[in-house]
């Protein structure tokens, strides 16, 4: 299970960490605003570039799940 908390400043972050430690909840910190999969994001960015260049392929609806 995942929960995302976005403190507004370092003071809020410290309070949240104190509470989580007090109630013995494990947590992971990251400097990035969201914990996302960088490989997935790069694939999406590559796809967007291909689309803008017109490098697309049409697939018939009947062939979509083959």
Quick: pLDDT tens for 6-45: 899 999 999 999 999 999 999 988 777 665 678 888 999 9
Q: How confident is the model at residue 66 (pLDDT cuts 50, 70, 90)?
A: confident
In three-state secondary structure terms, 52 is helix
Claim: this prediction has a pTM higher than 0.85: no
- 58 vs 19, residue with greater confidence: 19
**CA–CA gap between residue 34 and residue 31 (Å, rounded):** 8
Name the CA radius of gyration of the chain, rounded. 20
């Amino acid at each position: 299970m995942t929960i995302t908390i976005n403190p507004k400043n370092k003071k809020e972050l410290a309070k949240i960490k104190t509470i989580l430690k007090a109630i013995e909840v494990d947590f992971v910190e990251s400097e990035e605003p969201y914990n996302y999969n960088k490989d997935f994001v790069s694939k999406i960015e590559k796809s967007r570039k291909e689309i803008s260049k017109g490098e697309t392929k049409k697939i018939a609806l009947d062939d979509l799940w083959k």
